[in-house]
Structure 1
């Protein structure tokens, strides 16, 4: 028989005191013995503990010198503990070990199968009322741990005080701790197999976190609250549709605008809710895209090395304040997309890496589990619980924060087992190829879940290879994304407009090549943050020539971009020709708007957005061959291009002409489909934008002179380094 000490076995007492008992609920709390109860509690800080019942108060026996107490008494209908500490303070608490499990059997079953779509409702920290008692329910997946405890200021960060109950079938530990409330700071203390105590871990499902460099999780009340964006949500599907205008303003929240008179601090979510929403609405963008808002320890990662996937970063405010930012943008008619990082995570000791003393979230084999470019960990997409964690996170942002879309970062690194690896540094799949079959299955399932649960949302892939059917439905063999960034278009066009105009005749195909594949995917044309960092210079910094030519080149480039097929994305600062590379530790150079040339570029982008939104020919067939036709793409000697953009109505079209040398070309004839007066809708050389104001006096009449395969044609004056848009009246 086990040797007993007081009302507990010696082995149990020693294990509880040492924090090494794998089943604390078998020892602590109330246990029946005939008609009586034996109640045990661990209170290392206490001088004296008693049990308070309706029948009176029973002092507990100290059965271990380090603070294990026990008492035998008639089975109570309920009880509280009265704790007297060594400094004389006395307080009453509810015993967390008297409460039953809070996770239902169905939850445990679905969690074990990796089929619980909303794990964020069960795992993590949630305010609960159990048997009339307020508190917090904690649950965490750590199947290989010997013991898991919740620690925080409330228990002196002592892992012996609140060890959790293991639900063996799912590998999930849980406990309800009475008396804890909103804003409680906590972590998990995990004892791995073999007795190794791991660094304290933040909650993988934590709703909020301390402001970095602190790393603890924070209990946050995520109770439903009334949203005031019902008009937007009702129209979400139409606004995100591929036949609708989608013009995205990409934003890093911490450096969009700073407050120099207050230590150069970043704006908070509530300040952004007013200033950013007003600015984006005035500029005519339809959506904003935030660089990752997930909690991350290293600011220099820009959020692309997240630790808290379920927590908006505390750098700028609370979860409620981030909700207010999204809500305000919706009220101004602006959709919200967030960058979503499902390809890797950092190896910070408080994060997911080696979470329960095993490679739980990541692959154990470094050839599969380490991202060589960033020295980060790659998710194990072959594990159901890991996939569940990720696609539940996708739903979380759509549901808890009304986010409209997810732009998935670094998809190429997920698709290929040999991504950034040399021969011998990677493991082929079961078929002998380099495709990551598990990651492919995950991406398809994620898109099925997102569009199945939220048909009006959008997902966008940053995918830089020729992987087929990225933005085609899963049931047709695709990955299921709504859109894909067109990285080839970006590289080719930047290469062209970065050339001195005298050499552009030799690079003419840089602007025409994209039409060979433009409709294989639903493309977004991106000029993103990646193009204005790491020595690449700003977009403006790449433009050749003297100052006049540089501004004209940039305006012509934007005119080309907004009139080509595909949705649009522009990184912050590019809209007013930021001269310097982006610096995440500084504000954008807003002072440049005092220069008329920079203000002119901003005006142009605003007008391009408005033109793109109002002219259906410029967006209805953004991802369809029916929306585009070259008029002439062969005039390489003059570096002139002309094309048609067309809408659903066959008579709804605009004519676009780009002349990309610094010469004025008079009487330049191009063919047009129909007779009539062609009004000049936009000219990037307008003096309003800082140009030379070479124009066509408002428009031109078509002449019945055959040209470029059309029976009618117009004679134009082509401004230098400019893009012009015309529309037939009537």
Structure 2
């Protein structure tokens, strides 16, 4: 070895480079001006020989360490030496490149100030991989935050995944590493190789990567600035929006469509035909574990590569916006998964977070909550949120598993968490983070939706106290109560009648979204169809329509998850996604019905926009309520939750007027057996109880909903009704009197007839009595004559007997 070169070498530092255990490789590698000239040192374990070209002169570097450490002295006094490296590898292949360690990586003043303070909203512009040019040389600048490690390297195909070749420079002693690698460009895949003292090297993806490889290989990809950004569709709609929830992967599987653009066209055409306002995309940020439906996000700045690149996702948003459909995405800032190359155990510590909750969403998921007390983590999350709304024109976000953020002990075993500074279980830092996120969203007119199950009070209120500032919260309790009611046999639904009544007690405490979401159905392996009553498809579909109608007419925004609007058995894996006009007719008309009656449904968040008209008939399981608009217009909805038709049902109504049926879930075009009637029902009062509401008498088909509009009586009609009613009463009274008179006349006639009959019977009896008397007299006379005759005969006989005895006695006396 050249003795002069040997004497200027720092052998202990070289050892750090050789063993890849160095935080500041630029102290050694590259060109350094010393008194002997410019010392150029290059470490390439893959090289057999290395030379550099300075201006027009070539210098061979001496291999001063067999591991691949090369060095030479260049007789130049330039402070910054411009040179080109030529390398020959073990296979005899020669490559020429600019040395990564010849570029200045000094950070800008206060470049990381906001990041470490916890209020950097564009951290992605600082970190990650950026395809740039430095001094006319194209390449990629890599920057990563990884404190408490002994070394970070960039690895990829460009260095044969050898972590010793591109060791990064720690440019901030708080753990920020940076390296510019010439020649690395858009589309190149890479990872970070980290080394912690006493541990084996391991790979991590770039937390700030904007693209990843497609498929099972988990690699970051060098991205490039978006060709264009998407603009938000509109200012946020805060009254009764209809939201369609879907998972792009599931839609792709059902439709066979594989690209963002084609998916957008298919979804946009479908939803615009149905009349939805928004689509809520379940996680679109990159994820590797499909078993968690995308919720264990791994790329907080990257749309999933499954359907295209970020520019394709911009086009996806624009296509939906062109159909006037807003886009809401699930933004998972509550937890992250345990993917080997993800955020978990990033620097062999809980850098991004470490508490492991048991999620209500899925108890089997192994996830960790973010550390909201770490300012750098806050900057990471704020920047992710800002990236989606500023680049992709996202109209809204939904935060999943909010409860796991709000409580330190959520889903955790005793002793595995530490109380807050006040001794409570509230996660104070997370609460502050949530409020700030909602303030950012409000400033950008972005809708925010919370999925929260703990009963936290003030989720959708303003930011004072514990109020969090969301626009909406999903009403999980309403859904649970309804589904429990729905799965009961209709004969026993009356026992759960209160499931439908009681949610109204708390309905106006928050701005709710009533929903049948993926969590409620797919997560439990059921669908509305599988829960519906009935032993055939006709009855089951009637019950599904009834459930959807109840959801739509009930106050609050609406959310339906993918496929439930069709009344199909989506638990059947063999079911094909083949949608007909007949399948969508009901939900299409239901959406149109809400739109065409917006002046009524815009009162969703107002208590005076709702009133029960029938909430005490559990026996027949009939429920009714009125929706009331700002102008006083009302719609009256009545629901029959049994398959039994209710004939001439007396339904109370709020207003005196003429009622027309304007919606019937049992119409033939929906699969029912009735046509929409044009009959007018005139309301009336119960004169026996004037305080009672007016009423109409209607027939309610089984398992159906009817909606009636009211045309109020005019003053003239009211007067006419009064006159007609008085006339009707007078007529009735007269008819009653006539009826009474007729009844009296009939009775008198009957009594007269009875009297005549009695008289006839008396006369006949008298005649018979006279005849009997005459007959008796005759018989008496005959008896007297007979008696006289007998007496005379007796006298004769006695006289004869006397004569006989006298004669006998005379004769006897003569003999003597």
Name the residue aligned to 2:509. 520
Matched, 1:589 2:579: no
- Alpha-carbon separation, structure 1, partners of 2:566 and 2:356: 44
Q: Give the deviation of 1:246 after TM superposition.
A: 1.2
Contact 2:119 2:382 in 1 (8 A): no
- Alpha-carbon separation, structure 1, partners of 2:205 and 2:60: 37
Matched, 1:542 2:538: no
Name the residue aligned to 1:471. 460
Contact 1:673 1:710 in 2 (8 A): no
Name the residue aligned to 2:131. 127
**TM-score normalized by the length of structure 1:** 0.90
- Alpha-carbon separation, structure 1, partners of 2:583 and 2:274: 12
- Alpha-carbon separation, structure 2, partners of 1:89 and 1:124: 31
* Aligned counterpart in structure 2 of residue 139 of structure 1, from 140, 143, 150: 143
Name the residue aligned to 2:269. 278
Cα distance change on mapping 1:450 and 1:101 into 2, 3 Å? farther
Q: Give the deviation of 1:623 after TM superposition.
A: 2.0
Cα distance change on mapping 1:341 and 1:698 into 2, 3 Å? farther
Q: Give the deviation of 1:259 after TM superposition.
A: 6.8
* Aligned counterpart in structure 2 of residue 202 of structure 1, from 198, 202, 205: 205
Contact 1:657 1:724 in 2 (8 A): yes
Q: Give the deviation of 1:675 after TM superposition.
A: 4.5
- Alpha-carbon separation, structure 1, partners of 2:526 and 2:408: 32
Matched, 1:236 2:226: no
Q: Give the deviation of 1:490 after TM superposition.
A: 0.3
Cα distance change on mapping 1:87 and 1:426 into 2, 3 Å? closer
Cα distance change on mapping 1:59 and 1:213 into 2, 3 Å? same
Q: Which protein, 1 or 2, shows the higher relative CO under an 8 Å CA cutoff with sep ≥ 6?
A: 1
* Aligned counterpart in structure 1 of residue 566 of structure 2, from 563, 572, 576: 576
Cα distance change on mapping 1:420 and 1:296 into 2, 3 Å? same
Contact 2:31 2:102 in 1 (8 A): yes
Name the residue aligned to 2:250. 255
Name the residue aligned to 1:48. 49
**TM-score normalized by the length of structure 2:** 0.81
Name the residue aligned to 1:605. 587
- Alpha-carbon separation, structure 1, partners of 2:469 and 2:73: 62
Q: Give the deviation of 1:329 after TM superposition.
A: 0.8
Q: Secondary structure at the match of 1:60?
A: strand
* Aligned counterpart in structure 1 of residue 221 of structure 2, from 215, 218, 222: 218
Q: Give the deviation of 1:306 after TM superposition.
A: 1.7
Cα distance change on mapping 1:560 and 1:569 into 2, 3 Å? same
* Aligned counterpart in structure 2 of residue 683 of structure 1, from 664, 683, 691: 664
Cα distance change on mapping 1:726 and 1:281 into 2, 3 Å? same
Name the residue aligned to 1:482. 471
- Alpha-carbon separation, structure 2, partners of 1:224 and 1:685: 51
1:120-174 alpha-carbon deviations (Å, 9 max, x no partner): 1111111112222221111111011111110000011111111111132442111
Contact 1:527 1:571 in 2 (8 A): yes
Name the residue aligned to 2:740. none
Q: Secondary structure at the match of 1:590?
A: coil
Name the residue aligned to 2:644. 663
Q: How does 1:91-240 map to 2 (within 5 A)?
A: 91-101=95-105, 103-192=107-196, 194-225=197-228, 227=230, 233=232, 236-237=234-235, 240=236
Q: Give the deviation of 1:522 after TM superposition.
A: 0.9
Name the residue aligned to 2:329. 338
Q: Give the deviation of 1:460 after TM superposition.
A: 0.8
Cα distance change on mapping 1:481 and 1:355 into 2, 3 Å? same
1:55-85 alpha-carbon deviations (Å, 9 max, x no partner): 5322222222222222322125632222233
Name the residue aligned to 1:360. 351
Runs of 5+ unmatched residues, structure 1: none
- Alpha-carbon separation, structure 2, partners of 1:60 and 1:451: 60
- Alpha-carbon separation, structure 1, partners of 2:291 and 2:238: 34
Contact 2:599 2:629 in 1 (8 A): yes
Q: Which region of structure 1 is more displaced relative to structure 2, 543-552 or 663-672?
A: 663-672
Cα distance change on mapping 1:92 and 1:519 into 2, 3 Å? same
Matched, 1:652 2:642: no
Q: Give the deviation of 1:368 after TM superposition.
A: 11
Cα distance change on mapping 1:372 and 1:299 into 2, 3 Å? closer
Cα distance change on mapping 1:404 and 1:146 into 2, 3 Å? same
Q: Give the deviation of 1:676 after TM superposition.
A: 4.3
- Alpha-carbon separation, structure 2, partners of 1:498 and 1:478: 35
Contact 1:540 1:551 in 2 (8 A): yes
1:617-647 alpha-carbon deviations (Å, 9 max, x no partner): 4531222213212222222222222212123
Matched, 1:246 2:236: no
Contact 1:362 1:369 in 2 (8 A): no
Contact 1:149 1:188 in 2 (8 A): yes
Q: How does 1:690-705 map to 2 (within 5 A)?
A: 690-693=671-674, 695-697=676-678, 699-703=680-684
Matched, 1:501 2:490: yes
Q: Which region of structure 1 is more displaced relative to structure 2, 709-718 or 330-339?
A: 709-718
1:182-225 alpha-carbon deviations (Å, 9 max, x no partner): 10100001111x24233211011111111232111011112351
- Alpha-carbon separation, structure 2, partners of 1:138 and 1:587: 47
Cα distance change on mapping 1:51 and 1:369 into 2, 3 Å? farther
- Alpha-carbon separation, structure 1, partners of 2:567 and 2:356: 43
Cα distance change on mapping 1:618 and 1:156 into 2, 3 Å? farther
Q: Give the deviation of 1:44 after TM superposition.
A: 2.2
Q: Which region of structure 1 is more displaced relative to structure 2, 511-520 or 60-69?
A: 60-69
Name the residue aligned to 1:558. 548
Contact 2:287 2:296 in 1 (8 A): yes
Q: Give the deviation of 1:570 after TM superposition.
A: 0.7
Name the residue aligned to 2:759. none
- Alpha-carbon separation, structure 1, partners of 2:274 and 2:84: 61
Matched, 1:397 2:388: yes
Q: Secondary structure at the match of 2:306?
A: coil
Structure having the higher Rg: 2
Q: Secondary structure at the match of 2:589?
A: helix
- Alpha-carbon separation, structure 2, partners of 1:23 and 1:358: 22
Cα distance change on mapping 1:588 and 1:390 into 2, 3 Å? farther
- Alpha-carbon separation, structure 1, partners of 2:100 and 2:453: 52
1:91-113 alpha-carbon deviations (Å, 9 max, x no partner): 32122212222642222222222
Contact 1:668 1:716 in 2 (8 A): yes
1:369-425 alpha-carbon deviations (Å, 9 max, x no partner): 999752222221211111221122111111222111111111112222332345445
- Alpha-carbon separation, structure 1, partners of 2:414 and 2:176: 39
Q: Give the deviation of 1:348 after TM superposition.
A: 2.0
Name the residue aligned to 1:67. 68
- Alpha-carbon separation, structure 2, partners of 1:473 and 1:141: 35
Matched, 1:316 2:307: yes
* Aligned counterpart in structure 2 of residue 380 of structure 1, from 326, 347, 371: 371
- Alpha-carbon separation, structure 2, partners of 1:31 and 1:129: 22
Q: Secondary structure at the match of 1:200?
A: strand
